[in-house]
Chains A and B, each alone.
Chain A
Amino acid sequence: MLKTFDYPKFDHRPSADQQSGEVRRHPVIVVGAGPVGLTAAIDLAIKGVAVVLLDDDKTVSVGSRAVCYAKRALEIWDRLGCATPMVDKGVIWKTGKVFRGDREIYRFDLLPEDGHKMPAFVNLQQYYLEEYLVRRAEEVGVEIRWREKVTGVDTAGNHVRLPIETPTGVYALEADWLIAADGARSCIRRALGLDFMGQAFNDRFLIADVVMRADFPPERWFWFDPPFHRRQSTLLHMQADNVWRIDFQLGPDADPDEEKRPERVIPRLKAMLGADTEFELEWVSVYTFQCRRLEKFRHGRVLFAGDAAHQVSPFGARGANSGVQDADNLVWKLKAVLDGTAPEALLDSYDAERVQAARENLLNSTRSTDFITPKSAVSQAFRDAVLDLAENHPFARRLVNSGRLSVPAVYADSPLNTKDEDDFAGTMPPGSPCADAPIARNGRPGWLLSLLGSGFTLLCFGDAPEPLKVGAVAVDLLTAGRDFEDVEGLVAQRYDGRPGTVYLVRPDQHVAARWRAFDEAKVRAAVNRALARRGRRR
Chain B
Amino acid sequence: MKLNTEPNIAQPDDFYQELIDLHRDLSEEQSRQVNARLILLLANHIGDMEVLRAAMQAAAEES
The chain A residues found within 8 Å of chain B, CB to CB, are 377-378, 381-382, 384-386, 388-389, 393, 395-396, 399
Contacts and interface: CB of A to CB of B under 8 A. Distances in A.
A395 B44 contact: yes
A382 B44 contact: no
Contacts of A378: 32, 36
Interface in B32-63: 32-33, 35-37, 39-41, 44
Given A382-B36, A385-B33, A395-B44, 4 more contacts: A382-B39, A386-B40, A388-B37, A399-B40
A389 B40 contact: yes
A382 B35 CA distance: 9
A393 B43 CA distance: 13
Contacts of B36: 378, 381-382, 384-385
B21 to A, nearest CB: 20
A382 B41 CA distance: 11
- Most A-side CB within 10 Å, residue of B32, B35, B36: B36
Interface residues of B, number: 9
A34 B50 CA distance: 45
Contacts of B44: 393, 395-396
A382 B32 CA distance: 9
Interface of B: 32-33, 35-37, 39-41, 44
- Most A-side CB within 10 Å, residue of B32, B35, B39: B32
A393 B33 contact: no
B41 to A, nearest CB: 7
A393 B41 contact: yes
A397 to B, nearest CB: 11
Contacts of B37: 385, 388-389
Contacts of A399: 40
A381 B40 contact: no
- Most B-side CB within 10 Å, residue of A377, A381, A393: A381
Contacts of A377: 32
A1 B35 CA distance: 49
A318 to B, nearest CB: 25
B32 A389 contact: no
A352 to B, nearest CB: 28
B37 to A, nearest CB: 4
Q: List 6 A-B pairs, minimum CB-CB distance, nearest first.
A: A385-B36, A395-B44, A385-B37, A381-B36, A381-B32, A382-B36
Contacts of A381: 32-33, 35-36
A385 B43 CA distance: 13
Nearest to A384: B33
A396 B40 contact: yes
Contacts of B33: 381, 384-385, 388
25 contacts: A377-B32, A378-B32, A381-B32, A381-B33, A382-B36, A382-B39, A382-B40, A384-B33, A384-B36, A385-B33, A385-B36, A385-B37, A385-B39, A385-B40, A386-B40, A388-B33, A388-B37, A389-B37, A389-B40, A389-B41, A393-B41, A393-B44, A396-B40, A396-B44, A399-B40
B38 to A, nearest CB: 9
A262 to B, nearest CB: 37
Nearest to A394: B44
Contacts of B41: 389, 393
- Most B-side CB within 10 Å, residue of A385, A386, A388: A385
Contacts of B40: 382, 385-386, 389, 396, 399
Contacts of A395: 44
A23 to B, nearest CB: 59
A389 B40 CA distance: 9
Contacts of A386: 40
A396 B44 CA distance: 9
Contacts of B39: 382, 385
